[in-house]
Chains A and B, each alone.
Chain A
């Protein structure tokens, strides 16, 4: 080919041609995603490292972070069991009303979390449908750590189900049947054959549940009563401190939450990336 004729066929793949569209994308994302995230860290360390550490070591902040982590662990643990159970039932059994049930268990993703909080209050709260009677026995689930856990279980339930069920659907029944013919009981089959096959789904589901529980605000603010040192989670603490004008305190906790989320996200990416390579 003579040098003065431009090579049209490779023009598209020239590296400099990507600069314009990629630049445009970054420009759009900058104020939308990147700058706000940066702002948290800038503000958190505005007064220097010592201010940051002081803000974090206040009893309220420590409690809020520890409580949030505790609730997130508890939610992930309970939903790992509950979600797997639901996924197993929905995947392996055929029954009338299967489709409606499948929709109902996924509903929490679609409902605004504030509505979830309201509905829980209307059921378990002091004037709620069930709460009215429970109150007579001195049981008040709302405005307690248990109430918070309840809200978080509700809101994050579909994430576990959504991660585990597709894996179960893919797993052919012949694996179970092979185990049965070899003498394995139902439980042994579940323990040694099905559960290990679910590892990936369980891991993803647990991380997703954990992350969502850590950041949950809408339902928590209603059912917790936002009681400091009793039911105040980290996001509630951030909001309360902001409202009270203590921006530094809010930012410090927000920065910690952001870092935790990054770590979870990193593991999720690692795992799903690894899956992609293996497949």
Chain B
């Protein structure tokens, strides 16, 4: 193995930039780390080069442990996005620099330099300076410079990011060609999926510091294991349905589940199909390809060799679309298809079949249960109940600022573990609750934070309010605040306003309603003017359509009231709801004249569990 990363981690403060990354790369391989910006992929590269020190874990290059070595002794060739050509040196001096500081004699240096200039296609330009070269040429110099002293591994950090498309493609081919000829082990970091699919022997997908999946480009495209990989790499539609009798059902059509995939009866199943797998026909097809339905062509893009079509299909029963994300108010399925450009589609209505697809496992939702320490039974019960209903995994978090109280908390958490073993992950942190919840949330990406409060405990509401406020200000987590455990979750009240954040309430609240399998009421509290009412009605109709597309049965209600808080509380009482969904203003932005935020008032007054949705999409 040329490169071995063993549980490599890097954190800055409380944030894990790289989290337990393990990876083995073979000699001569061209490996691509693919991820969005800020995913930690560049940090992994810097850790390998020694430009950043890992918090924990080991790095082996050609069998030698280099974890504690400075960059000078690792023998890596690094190419930066900004080229970093030394401006006061000629191209030749740049290429020879590494050999010069490593005391290679002059004749050898010159021979190697000429060979490299030839290799990267810059013969005769050795006397030029950086400002006399184009961006593409500068990057060729940087490549030659990094290869000059025959490094163990070649590391490229978004090397073609600053170049325009044509030059990028040429350089990609040059790189692949040179890499193949020299057989140097290479890692390339990029956010460009096309680049990754083009050059990689294998691709590793990085998200939030985790290495999610590693595979050959073809396999990763055709058979991704994670939802993230499925939607990040290439276009395609992802639907959620249910597994029954060895098949995954999406409304009226069903697909066989592969034998090696264990889907329990009734659990959720995901299907991914790419645009090129969608077959269109104007007559109802007689083949045995699975038929999704009859759709309308709503858009066409001509793209040279191919034509991309956007289709809208009627909703499938008990099925929800995850990707591409549906716009607010969209009720149908949106499917993309691709056809050769010369094939024209007559008419607007077509039959849509599939000739290829891939069934994915649905990830379990994760809950973060905050244990305030005082009422362990409450947290546990709520957690257990939600885990059962949502088929979720959970982490119980205890936070304390004193070490002695910490010991008590550890003891309390341990007793919990004895009560219910399925709450497997326990975690104890020291510090302020809100901050520590925010840290834990940022590190592991929970779907929801659950804060339970023991209502009998007199001192708690005040402290709790601070905690909830803090968590809302510091994270974009959905926070479920539970005062009293309802016997059963039966009805959900979603309070929604007519702005963007209000739409988010509907999406996130709807997701929970769907998982719980309960109906929801959409509530808008309006103060009376006709135009506001019209606006609200329109918004609620779109919201209802969005919920229907998520397979959540719902009704809408506009309640006239001067004070929104009173309106929400009165509705919650009268309608006997078990769960209230309200929005938060999000980090940092609170309305200037509100003495008391609506969200916090509802939290203080309502007896039911309240789910607070952040202003930004989770």
The answer to whether the Cβ of A172 comes within 8 Å of any Cβ in the partner chain is yes
Q: Which of A60-68, A116-124, A133-141, A184-192 contacts B (4 or more CB under 8 A)?
A: A184-192
The answer to whether the Cβ of A36 comes within 8 Å of any Cβ in the partner chain is no
Instruction: Report yes or no: A174 in contact with B84, Cβ–Cβ below 8 A.
Output: yes
Name A189's closest neighbour in chain B (CB-CB): B101
Most buried by A among B76, B78, B142, B149: B78
The answer to whether the Cβ of A180 comes within 8 Å of any Cβ in the partner chain is yes
Name B88's closest neighbour in chain A (CB-CB): A196
The answer to whether the Cβ of B539 comes within 8 Å of any Cβ in the partner chain is no
Known contacts A177-B51, A177-B71, A177-B78, A182 near B149 by CB under 8 Å? yes
Instruction: Report yes or no: B82 in contact with A184, Cβ–Cβ below 8 A.
Output: no
Residues on A with beta carbons closer than 8 Å to the beta carbon of B87: 197
Name A188's closest neighbour in chain B (CB-CB): B101
Instruction: Report yes or no: A182 in contact with B49, Cβ–Cβ below 8 A.
Output: no
Instruction: Report yes or no: A175 in contact with B84, Cβ–Cβ below 8 A.
Output: yes
Name A178's closest neighbour in chain B (CB-CB): B84
Residues on A with beta carbons closer than 8 Å to the beta carbon of B88: 196-197, 199
Instruction: Report yes or no: B51 in contact with A184, Cβ–Cβ below 8 A.
Output: no
Residues on B with beta carbons closer than 8 Å to the beta carbon of A278: 131
Give the docked Cα–Cα distance between A220 and B167 (Å): 61
Known contacts A177-B51, A181-B49, A188-B101, A193 near B86 by CB under 8 Å? yes
Give the docked Cα–Cα distance between A180 and B149 (Å): 13
Name B51's closest neighbour in chain A (CB-CB): A177
A182: which of B50, B70, B89, B98 is its contact (CB, 8 Å)? Answer: B98
Residues on B with beta carbons closer than 8 Å to the beta carbon of A199: 88
| Residues of chain A at interface, number, CB under 8 A | 19
Give the docked Cα–Cα distance between A172 and B162 (Å): 16
Most buried by A among B70, B74, B82, B86: B86
Instruction: Report yes or no: B80 in contact with A174, Cβ–Cβ below 8 A.
Output: yes
The answer to whether the Cβ of B383 comes within 8 Å of any Cβ in the partner chain is no
**Shortest distance in angstroms between A189's beta carbon and chain B's nearest beta carbon?**
9
Instruction: Report yes or no: B149 in contact with A183, Cβ–Cβ below 8 A.
Output: yes
Q: C-beta contact mask, B142-158 vs A, less than 8 Å → 1, else 0?
A: 10011011010000000
Instruction: Report yes or no: A175 in contact with B86, Cβ–Cβ below 8 A.
Output: yes
Instruction: Report yes or no: A172 in contact with B149, Cβ–Cβ below 8 A.
Output: no
Known contacts A174-B84, A178-B84, A184 near B97 by CB under 8 Å? yes
Known contacts A188-B101, A196-B88, A172 near B51 by CB under 8 Å? no
Residues on A with beta carbons closer than 8 Å to the beta carbon of B86: 175, 178-179, 192-193, 196-197
Q: C-beta contact mask, A242-279 vs B, less than 8 Å → 1, else 0?
A: 00000000000000000000000000000000000010
Instruction: Report yes or no: A180 in contact with B82, Cβ–Cβ below 8 A.
Output: no
**Shortest distance in angstroms between B129's beta carbon and chain A's nearest beta carbon?**
11
Instruction: Report yes or no: A178 in contact with B102, Cβ–Cβ below 8 A.
Output: no
The answer to whether the Cβ of B72 comes within 8 Å of any Cβ in the partner chain is yes
Q: C-beta contact mask, B48-72 vs A, less than 8 Å → 1, else 0?
A: 0111000000000000000000111
Residues on B with beta carbons closer than 8 Å to the beta carbon of A192: 86, 97, 101
**Shortest distance in angstroms between B369's beta carbon and chain A's nearest beta carbon?**
38
Residues on B with beta carbons closer than 8 Å to the beta carbon of A183: 72-73, 75, 98, 101-102, 149
Instruction: Report yes or no: A180 in contact with B84, Cβ–Cβ below 8 A.
Output: no
The answer to whether the Cβ of B77 comes within 8 Å of any Cβ in the partner chain is yes
Instruction: Report yes or no: B101 in contact with A181, Cβ–Cβ below 8 A.
Output: no
Residues on B with beta carbons closer than 8 Å to the beta carbon of A184: 72, 97-98, 101
Instruction: Report yes or no: A174 in contact with B82, Cβ–Cβ below 8 A.
Output: yes
Q: Which of A145-166 contact B (CB under 8 A)?
A: none
A–B complex contacts, Cβ < 8 Å, 9 sampled: A172-B82, A177-B84, A181-B50, A182-B102, A182-B146, A183-B98, A197-B87, A197-B88, A199-B88
Which 9 A/B pairs are nearest by Cβ-Cβ distance?
A: A182-B98, A196-B88, A180-B71, A181-B78, A174-B84, A184-B101, A174-B80, A178-B84, A183-B102
In the complex, besides A172-B82, A184-B98, A185-B101, 18 extra interface pairs with C-beta distance below 8 angstroms are: A177-B49, A177-B78, A177-B80, A178-B142, A179-B86, A179-B97, A180-B71, A180-B72, A181-B51, A181-B76, A181-B77, A183-B75, A184-B101, A192-B86, A193-B86, A197-B86, A197-B88, A278-B131
Give A residues with C-beta under 8 Å from B.
Answer: 172, 174-175, 177-185, 188, 192-193, 196-197, 199, 278
Give B residues with C-beta under 8 Å from A.
Answer: 49-51, 70-78, 80, 82, 84, 86-89, 97-98, 101-102, 131, 142, 145-146, 148-149, 151
